[in-house]
A and B are shown apart, each in its own frame.
Chain A
């Protein structure tokens, strides 16, 4: 009596356990893949250069060596690089979000002639190879410098203008999805309550879209923080950002890996901290914008 069903249940139970264990194992593998480079970064930053070149597999440093964290500052102006990156990426984020949210709002709320064409045009900018437009922009900037006396190359505003434009299409795409989730009736109500269209946008829609804006801002910041090609052409001397600065650990005599990893570790901390703090908003903001059909 009941022997068969209980046996049956037991076997499915066991199978479920097996599947469960297998899934945990796969997730473990993925997390190892994800985190191993980060682990190596920190481990290497704590090794001495001679230990790095020792033969054989030794993942952990034999002694904790914090010397790299001291020396790296002396070799280059890392603080300066990092501040430059914050200024450039930070300002880019503000401009991009301002400009992008206006356009995203137009796409989200209004039907206007040429809407599809505009959308396609904005999308197509994502396919332009940077090297194609680098030289023309360089010539453009030189011309502006020469004709109007406004310095453009190796200035904050020069590179910020480029980055703001580069990130705008992505911001429009993400924010549009987020605005779509906010009922249009709210702006109708606001306009009847005495707002102009623009007031309805910044008094009602923008405050409600804050999580999406924060998530988008995070992405824009990261894109601007990590850009290399244009930075190497347009942001040298006093405005060199971290992405270019860190390459200086690679010298003609070899790469100072241990110090470079120390610098990489230090530079990762603020970004990962921001990400950790706003994780929830970032994930929900990112997904609200993108999962729409």
Chain B
């Protein structure tokens, strides 16, 4: 019995030489290790992504989505609408796109500058350094939903502490309160909250980067008579380059697809400054036009990929030329 099974598998093995694919044991083991991750990502990321791509060429809405396959196919209806200024979506698409870029770049610059400043300050030895480092990290570890609501409360026009502070400082009159969560101000508010939330991440990464710079480099610089600024410019910054690249890329991409901050801070209100994620959400879920939402998402995905790729190329190039950050 068992012999016949052995024979059977043996003959199978002889006939099916393909599965080894000429792979060595190491590669095969590596594939086994990757299998669960890839399988999960296939189900949750890739198949739905392709599916979403297909939906973007159809007319799926909240009445047809369960039976989505029978929804009408109209290849370029959604994309056409997006790029025509006289449609509901096309009228605001470009301004929304600009808003998204401003949000991403404002956040990235703010997070990096504040993160680097913090990292440099923490890199000195002083009393209470450990405490300072712990406190700086709090925004990153506090529950996001709760903290965004705190900011929303602080930004509220009539009772918010931000306006109260401005009145107290004499910057504005108590009668003309600033509406922080509407229009252009909403963009500033979102950027502030996003910076607050993410700069600790940059700070701690850069702090670790600073710690890993060999002391000899600074000694060599000081023997060469380099000033504080020159040391920073020619020793510190170039050494931080790999961390910087990671932080900037993550910040841009995470900002592009950040949903939580605009959604919770601006209260899903389409009147407010709309970054694309919120814009898409409103079309897809408030209006129930899933195909339009999918088409917009595909555009957003393509944009983030192009930016990431371009950024990747640019940083790789400059590292070949040995330039600083």
Considering the chains assembled together, what is the distance between the CA atoms of A5 and B285 in angstroms?
74
CB proximity of B259 to chain A, nearest CB, Å: 5
Flag if A129 contacts B280 (CB, 8 Å).
Answer: yes
Flag if A99 contacts B280 (CB, 8 Å).
Answer: no
Q: Is A290 an interface residue (CB 8 A)?
A: yes
Interface of B is mostly: helix
Interface residues on A, range: 35 or more
Flag if A165 contacts B40 (CB, 8 Å).
Answer: yes
CB proximity of A190 to chain B, nearest CB, Å: 14
What is the number of residues of chain B that contact chain A, defined by CB distance less than 8 Å?
100
Flag if A106 contacts B34 (CB, 8 Å).
Answer: yes
Within 8 A of A (CB), among B149-183: 149-151, 153-154, 158-159, 161, 164-165, 167-168, 174
Flag if B29 contacts A110 (CB, 8 Å).
Answer: yes
Flag if A135 contacts B44 (CB, 8 Å).
Answer: no
In the bound complex, residues from chain B placing their C-beta under 8 Å from that of A128 are 45, 49, 257, 301
One digit per residue, 1 when the CB lies within 8 angstroms of any chain A CB and 0 when it does not, for chain B 20-56 equals 0001001101110110111011011101110110010
Contact of A136 among B47, B117, B149 (CB under 8 A): B47
Flag if B281 contacts A139 (CB, 8 Å).
Answer: no
CB proximity of A187 to chain B, nearest CB, Å: 12
A123 to chain B: closest residue by CB: B308
Q: Is A40 an interface residue (CB 8 A)?
A: yes
Q: Is A206 an interface residue (CB 8 A)?
A: no
Q: A106-B30, A172-B37, A264-B149 are in contact. Are A127 and B48 (CB under 8 A)?
A: no
Flag if B168 contacts A57 (CB, 8 Å).
Answer: yes
Flag if B33 contacts A102 (CB, 8 Å).
Answer: yes
Q: Is B143 an interface residue (CB 8 A)?
A: yes
Flag if A287 contacts B211 (CB, 8 Å).
Answer: yes
Q: Is B106 an interface residue (CB 8 A)?
A: no
Contact of B205 among A126, A130, A287 (CB under 8 A): A287
In the bound complex, residues from chain B placing their C-beta under 8 Å from that of A55 are 174
Q: Is A122 an interface residue (CB 8 A)?
A: yes
Considering the chains assembled together, what is the distance between the CA atoms of A111 and B209 in angstroms?
27
CB proximity of B199 to chain A, nearest CB, Å: 8
Q: A57-B168, A136-B52, A290-B246 are in contact. Are A131 and B293 (CB under 8 A)?
A: yes
Q: Is B304 an interface residue (CB 8 A)?
A: yes
In the bound complex, residues from chain A placing their C-beta under 8 Å from that of B29 are 106, 110, 197
Considering the chains assembled together, what is the distance between the CA atoms of A60 and B272 in angstroms?
31
Considering the chains assembled together, what is the distance between the CA atoms of A104 and B147 in angstroms?
32
Q: Is A67 an interface residue (CB 8 A)?
A: no
Flag if A132 contacts B52 (CB, 8 Å).
Answer: yes
Contact of A127 among B60, B140, B208, B308 (CB under 8 A): B308
One digit per residue, 1 when the CB lies within 8 angstroms of any chain B CB and 0 when it does not, for chain A 260-293 equals 1101100110011001100100010011001111
Flag if B52 contacts A135 (CB, 8 Å).
Answer: yes
B residues bordering A, Cβ < 8 Å? 23, 26-27, 29-31, 33-34, 36-38, 40-41, 43-45, 47-49, 51-52, 55, 60, 65-66, 68, 114, 117-118, 121-122, 124, 126, 132-147, 149-151, 153-154, 158-159, 161, 164-165, 167-168, 174, 196, 200, 204-205, 207-209, 211-212, 242-243, 246, 250, 253-254, 256-257, 259-260, 263-264, 267, 276-277, 280-281, 284-285, 290, 293-294, 297-298, 300-301, 304-305, 308
